[in-house]
Structure 1
C-alpha cells in the first residue's frame, strides 16, 4: 500500500429505499421494496425492515413478495435518487476533490490531504456522515483505511449507519480471520474452489506464495496474494470516464423481435440523454437481447462517425437486429441499448487489426452505410 494514504469509502444505507422513506413518512419503519411489480421485475433496493425477511437487491420481485408478503412496493424514481446522490457529492467536495463514484450510493474519497484541515481521516468521515444526516436526512456508513480494498470492507463492517476504521498496524490482524469470500472478485464459484483446497480464510491464503497462487489461478492469483496481505496500490481516480452507457428493459411477456422497435427507440433516447454528461463521444453502438430461454445475444457496431442524435442511435441499434438469427422465431424477454468506446472528438478511432479481435463487430467500411437511416432495407421506427 502507498505509505500514508488515507482513504474513505462512503456507502449510503439502503439508498433508494431510504430516499423513499424519507420523502414519505408513511413508509418509515415499514418493509419497503423499490421495484416495479410484475413477473419479470427485479428488486432495485430493499429497506432494512424488508431485509430482515431475506429480501435483497437483484432478487426477482415475485420472490421478494413471497418472502415478505406485507412489503410495500414502490416504483423507482431515479430523478430523486440522482438529486440525493448529487447533494451527497457536494458534501464530499467540501473535504476533497479526489472523489471516485462507484454508483449513485457509494464513492471512494482520498483524504490524505483534506480541504477542511481536519487532523485525521476518521474526523473527515464523521463530519461527512453527520452532514449527510443533518442536510439530507439520510444515513451513510463509512470505512477508513490505508487503501481502497480495505476501506470498502470497513464500510460494510458496521452497517447500517456505522463507521469502522482500520489503522495501518491493524491490517494483518483484521484480515487474518476473514472468510475468503470477503475478498473482491471471489464469488461463490471461486470461494468453493478455494475451500476445496483448504483455503477458507484470508489467513489460509497468506500461507501460500505468489508462485503457487498464480499457478493455480493465473493472474488473479497474484492479486489474491496482494489482497490477502492488505496490499492495494490502486489510487482514487477522480473524474473517471464512463466506458459504457447502457439501458435495458425486461418485458411482462416474451415478444418477437419485430415488436421491439418502440422499446429500442425509448432505450436509445435514455442512453442518449445519459451520454450528454460525458465529455467524450461513443463510437460503438450495442444491441443486447435475452431470449425466453435466457440466452444472451449481443450485437455491436463501431462507427467512423458517432451517432448525432437519439433518433440516429435508435436507428443504428434497430438495424443491428438484422444480424440476429430469427430462423427459429425466438421470443425475447429483455432488450438493451448501449453506447461505448468513448473517445475525444478529435481522436481517431482504432479499429481491430485482425478480424477475430472483435467478434461482434463486422467490417466497419461495409457496415456503417447499411446502419444509417434511409439505407435500403432499413426499418423505420414508428
Structure 2
C-alpha cells in the first residue's frame, strides 16, 4: 500500500503560481474532524470530506478538487487495513464468549490489531503529510497537521470545560434547545428505503449533523467549513471492504439518533397543549412587564423634558434604571421558570436524545483533526500527533 501513501494523484506545487503567504490578520485555522471514533481506535475512522472557502481566497488558492484529493489520499494512507479491522471485530466476538481460551485468543487478536494498524498507518501518514506539506501547503505559508482534540483546541485558542480538564464542550443539540410547542410544519413522514412511510406510520425529523455541533463549539475561532455530500471514489476492493465497518457504524448511529429524535418529537407533540398553555400564561405576564417598562420610560422622558437641574436629572434616570432592572430580572425569572417547567414535561421523551448528545461529546474529545494553520517554524516537524497508543489523549 506504499503507493497510496505517496498519493501520486496530487499535483506538485510547480503547477501553480509563485508562493505568497496568507494575510496574518485574516487567516483563521481550518479544522476538519474525523467522522467518528470507531471501536475507540483512531486509525479505523476517516477524516470528513470538507472544503473551506478560505482556501480559495489565498493569494495562491488551493482549489477545491486539489484539497479533496489531499483528504482522500490522507484517508487512504491513514485508515487501517481491512485485515486489522476484521481481526479487531473477531477479537471482540471471542472476548464476549464464555470460553476462557477463546477470550485469551480474542484479547491477542484485539491487541495485535490495534498495535499493527497504528504502527503501519503512522509510517504511511508521516510520509504522506511531509510530502503534501512540501508540495501544497508550505509554499503558501501554511502547514497542515493531524492533532488530537486537546492540541487542536490549543492551536485555535478554544477554552476547555469548566472543570479545567481541557475538554471540548459541545453546544446543546438544536432539537433539545427548542422548547416551543412543535408544529405540524416541522414534522415529516419517515421515509424507508423503499420510499414509503415506516410500518408504524411514525413521524420523524431531520436530525442535526453531529459534525456541525463540533464546529459550533469552535465558532468564531476557525474558518468556515463546507462538508461534502459525495463519498470518496473507491480505488478497488480494498477501499470498498475497508470502509464497511465505518458504514455499518454510521448507519447504526444514524438509526439510533433518528429513533431518539422521533421519540422526542412524538412525546412533545403529545404534550403540545400543556406546553402551549404554559407559554400562553407566561406570555401574558411578559406582555404586562413590557407594558410597564414602556410606561416607565415614557414617564421618565416627560420628567426629564426641559429639566436643567443636573442633580434632578440624575435622580430621575437612576430611578428609571432601577425600576427597569427590577422588571428585567422579573422577566428573566419568568422565562427561566417557564423553560424549567417545559423541560420537565419534555424530560421523558428527550432522555435518549440527551444521552446520545453526551456520547457525541465524548466522541468529539477522542477523535483527531486535520488542522491547517499559518506556517510556524516551531511546528514544522510536528505533523502527526498520534502514536501507537491511539486513544491515549482521552
Q: TM-score range by the shorter chain?
A: under 0.3
Of Structure 1 and Structure 2, the greater strand share is in 1
More helix by share: 2
